[in-house]
Each structure stands twice: as C-alpha cells, then as structure tokens.
Amino acid sequence: MNDERILFEKPDLALLRKDHAVFDMHFHTCRTDGRDSVRAIAHRARILGVGVAITDHNDIESALEIAQYRDVPSIPGIEITSREGTHILVYFYESRHLKKFYTKYIQPFLGREIMSSTRLSMEEIVHSAKLFPSVTIFPHPYCVAYTGICNLNFEQARLERLLDAADGVEVINAENIHRWNLRCTLLGLYLKKAITGGSDGHSLYHMGKVVTYACCEPTGPAMLDAIKNGSARVIGKEINLFRKVAAGTSKLNVPVAAYPERLGKNIRYSYRLIHVKSILIRRQLQLRIYRRRNRLHPLR
C-alpha cells in the first residue's frame, strides 16, 4: 500500500500551497447536517488558503452560494443519498451544470426530508451525472454502515458495475475510522481510478484535516481535471474520537420526520448483516465438523 499519492499524515497546508492547488473535497453546511454558514466556511478556507467543495446532502444552495466568493476557490458539488441509503459525491465544472442536474434529475425525486434517501437507484444517479461535465466519486466506500458503496445491499456483480461506472473513490475521510480508510485506500489502488480525500467536515475545525492536492492552477476545473487524469494526491488523518463524537451530535441535527426512514434502513441492514454472518458461521462449523470426521475416520 506504499503509494506516494496517498499519505496518512497531518497535512502541512502552508508547504503544500507553495507548489500545489489544495482542496478539501468534502464539506457540509448548516443547510443540512453541518454547523456553519457558507460565510463562515469561506472565511475559514481563506485563512487556511485552501479551496473547498461544499457537498451538502441532497441540496445545492450552499454550493451555489460559495461560488459567489471569488477569492475562495470552490467546486460545485453535492452528496446524494440513493434509494439504497448509500452516498455518492458528484462534482461539476460549472455551477450552472450542478443547478440543471439537480433541478431536472434529483429534486423531483427527493424524499420527505432533505436528509432522506432519494427515490433514485445508484445507477440512475450515476447515469444522470454522466450527462454533464462532472466527476463522480463514492465517498467512504467502506464505513460502519450502508452509506458506503461497499455494503451488503449491493451484490458483487452490481457493485463491480457501479465501481466501474463511477470516476473513482474517496480514499481518506477524516470522519471515518482508520481501518476503514485503509480499506478504502486499498480499493482506490486496486481500481486504478480517480482518488480524492476530504474532511467530511461538519464544523470549521474539521476543514483541511484531509485534502486533495495537485500541481495545477488553484481553480475548481483544474483540480477536477487533475483528479480525473490521476495526478491528484491525497494527504490527511482521521480526527480524534472526541471530535468524532462532537461531529456525530451535529449530524443528529436533522428533522425528526427523517428518523423512521433511517431506523427502518438500519434495521433492514442489521438483519442482512446477521443473515450473512450466520451463513459464514454455519459454513465454518460445517468445515470444522468435516475436518474432525476426517481425522477420526481417515480414508483407507
């Protein structure tokens, strides 16, 4: 897993900025489950000297708003929740394309609440995004539940098709745990496709904890080109447990009406997980019994 494009260490933003464009490719605002306004985020990005992609859940207002801050490099983006409850990041070269994509292909299929799953399959979202100049990335492909693409809701053949259809995966996510990020990194190296990293920030403290950087102009289009052509790199580390807990409390700041859907998905996924685990345990027991019988009654 020794690849110079992916480094698990604290980024020296001042050093990186000397020769690279630096972007936090995954950030949330108070429009969805983040804490801060676009104005505060733009101010923080300005202080750190980084670009930012605002990727709110199923919403584009903040992504469009930050584009008005001409002194802060930004990338129009959105994190969409598919019908399966799984997330995908879509980045655009121009705000007008994000707006058209959202208005025509996402907004009519939104759930009851902004944080709810859409009524679109993951395949439908990827296909619609490909109609525009865009970059599609699966965030936190391995994580604790079904929000990452590598989960039990997607059978292997379907998963392989989706990984092939998307442009790449997020290899380091500051809110993920280290062992999952390691698996995400292995996946990114195996696929030999685009890689990104971001804080998945829900508060200003998170910004810049994980960044994507490249030898290119500090503009959104230039960074997206670097990501697509494989010259972008990722550096960063996970935030500590205390910060994770604090971020988790901000994520709870979602409408109560969205809770039943989330609970239902969690229950169904838990049943699926238990079912798969029980099959594995049963097979292991059968194998042990078979081996024991062979030891007691070897073939003559």
Span 75-102, pLDDT tens digits? 999 999 999 999 999 999 999 999 999 9
Whether residue 20 is found in the same domain as residue 145: yes
Q: Is 275 exposed, middle or buried, given 0-12, 13-18 or 19+ CB atoms closer than 10 A?
A: exposed
SS3 state at 52 = strand
DSSP 90: E
Q: Which two tokens stand for residue 248?
A: 């988790």
CATH number at residue 149: 3.20.20.140
Does residue 149 share a domain with residue 12? yes
pTM of the model: 0.84
Residues 171 and 292 placed together within one structural domain of the fold: no
- Predicted confidence at residue 267, as pLDDT, reads 55
Do 135 and 271 sit in the same domain of this protein?
A: no
Q: Are β-strands 87-92 and 77-81 bridged in parallel, bridged antiparallel, or unpaired?
A: antiparallel
- Residue 225 forms part of a structural domain: yes
Indicate whether 198 belongs to any domain.
Answer: yes
Averaged in consecutive runs of 10 residues, what is the pLDDT profile of the chain (300 residues)? 84 98 99 97 99 99 98 99 98 99 99 95 99 99 94 95 98 98 98 98 98 98 99 96 54 55 53 51 62 64
The pLDDT of residue 138 is 99
Residues near 88 by beta carbon (within 8 Å), at least 6 away in sequence = 79, 80, 82, 122, 125, 126, 136, 137, 138, 139, 149, 166
Same structural domain, 144 and 123? yes
**pLDDT digit string (tens) for 17-62?**
999 999 999 999 999 999 999 999 999 999 999 999 999 999 999 9
**pLDDT for residue 145:** 85
**Long-range CB contact pairs, 15-21, < 8 A, 24+:** 16/211, 16/213, 16/235, 17/49, 17/50, 19/215, 20/213, 20/214, 20/215, 20/216, 21/51, 21/73, 21/213, 21/214, 21/215, 21/216, 21/217, 21/218, 21/219, 21/222, 21/223, 21/226
Q: Looking at the structure, tell me whether residues 56 and 167 fall in a common domain.
A: yes
Residue 275's pLDDT is what?
Answer: 46
Assess contact for 139 and 89: CB atoms under 8 A.
yes
Which residue(s) pair with 54 in the sheet? Answer: 27
Q: What are the strands of the beta sheet with 134-138, ordered from one edge?
A: 77-81, 87-92, 134-138, 168-173, 194-198
Q: Is residue 1 part of a domain?
A: no
Q: Which two tokens stand for residue 243?
A: 């910060």
Q: Is residue 209 part of a domain?
A: yes
Q: Which domain holds residue 184?
A: 6-253
Whether 93 and 143 map to the same domain: the answer is: yes
Q: In this structure, are 270 and 165 located in the same domain?
A: no
Nearest one of 79, 64, 21 to 45, comparing CA atoms? 21
Same domain, 155 and 278: no
Do both 101 and 186 map to the same domain? yes
Question: What is the domain count for the chain?
Answer: 2
Q: Do residue 215 and residue 291 come from a single domain?
A: no
- pLDDT computed for residue 242 by the predictor: 52
> Does any domain span residue 131?
yes
Same-domain pairing of 83 and 169:
yes
